Structure 1
Amino acid sequence: MLRKIGFVGLGTVGVHMAANLAKSDYQLTVFDEDAHAVAELAKLGVKVGQTPAETAKGQDLVIVIVPESKFLVFGENGVLEGIDPGTILVDMGTHCIETIEKMSQEAVKRRVMFLEAPVWGTKEHASNGLLTIIAGGDESLLGRCREPFSYFGLNIIHVGKIGAATRMKLIVNLLQAEMMLSLSEGLVLGEKMGFRADKILEVLDSGGVASPLFHSKGRSIQRGDFSRNLALKYVHSQMNRVLETAESLGLELPAAKTVCGVYAQAVEDGRGEEDFSAIVKLLRK
């Protein structure tokens, strides 16, 4: 039975995932380089590790959710330096396939059990336990993790072997970015023709193009609320990864190329740290 959990990465989504785990009976130890995020979790009574290696030591399950640019798994004081044989290591970030394969190989060398399980959703989804978890790896191993995952995930979907979840997340990232740009173009066109955003959204909600993303993000845009749930710069980097993968497969994705270019322009204009719904501001110039 899993009782002790190490959690590395308290970013926009990770901090809420860890906070939900803190409400459980698991013995939770957390680590992040952000002292403020760590302090907030410490208020909930969880232990704080001084390094990723220390946080991973002596645990039954170690969850890592950090950007690839700040990876804390490899190297001195990294998670793999401290993790014990027989521990389950789960990477819940969104990384390139080469990173996932390297983690899997290093885990095998250390007799550590490994799952890739990138999460999909906003900080509100994380806070309310409504994330989707896309898992790749041993399905029986995922079965052992379903109970702790249920504290922050509503949908837990196994899609295949190691590497499959990362590839599936590319599809999610592609469609999510394209949908946000489509929504933004629709709103801007409608506004120029004299329609109010709420009326446009009422129509969209009633028909075949209705979607949770259009509903929630459309109303946030209507309110002028661009509070960061998913940074625009991350969506841009994910679209670059989609295009690199498509190229390696000999595929031409013209819409993806165009969308990536629009996000690139938004980043260049200094909107990278804003929520990805801020792409609408670029079109309103």
Structure 2
Amino acid sequence: MTTPLSTPSQRVTITVRDGVADVRMNRPGKRNALDPAMFEALVSAGEELRTEPGLRVVVLSGEGPDFCAGLDFTAFEAMRNGERLSSSARLRPTDGPAQATGQRAAYVWAELPVPVIAAVHGNALGGGLQIALGADIRIIAPDARLSVRELAWGLVPDMTGSQVLPELVGRDVAKELTFTARIFDGEEAGRIGLATRLDPDPRSAALGMAREIAAHNPHAVRAAKRLLDLAGRTDPAAGFAQEQVEIGRLIGSANQAEAVAARFEKREPRFSDV
């Protein structure tokens, strides 16, 4: 079943098919640059998907030649006068850790209970890269152009990237990329651990991976994301205890029994999302 969903101004399109949401930034003529309407659409898309029935995986990509080239040039012009255009985005209040508009546009993907795969091609610069960092997995084209670009504009990464990037590539590499603001390609992103996988057609690869994940017990997938997001962010005793909580919920559950039955009967499992 295919379900199209809407977001403000159609800057982001969402199509859900068989539990996989295909989410695309939809401003190709402007390289999917971030303006207030795009910020609104990204946050709205993530919040809408949080309550989408039967959702199992999300694939996030950009229409046209780029993933997202970063802030719209009008934002930089406004900054010369001390204005911050992102603050004009109309968003509902949130009690989550990310409060600023740009932070919410990136972190809303980390907050989803299901895996999020970013498919990155073309330019992913500045804020565009930070949005990709909000995903659980990044499949990147070898010739993609990436950059922690903010210092080139006299700024710092402020869309959660300063906190997320060191966890992926190490503190020293994160500092080098940030201090230099240099552009690097997908091949280097793979070497330093920013790319989970390289593929010349990242969207197709991401959708294929999403279908593979969606074929597993959705309750187990969500539990696995919760556990892995704890790793390194809590003390070992708390993490080990949470493992036992999650496994206790799964053993003997209807979906776990179905996973075992399907294996023994050599057939596709029929899982419930309830």
TM-score normalised according to structure 1 size: 0.30
Relative contact order: is structure 1 or structure 2 higher (C-alpha 8 Å, sep ≥ 6)?
2
TM-score normalised according to structure 2 size: 0.31
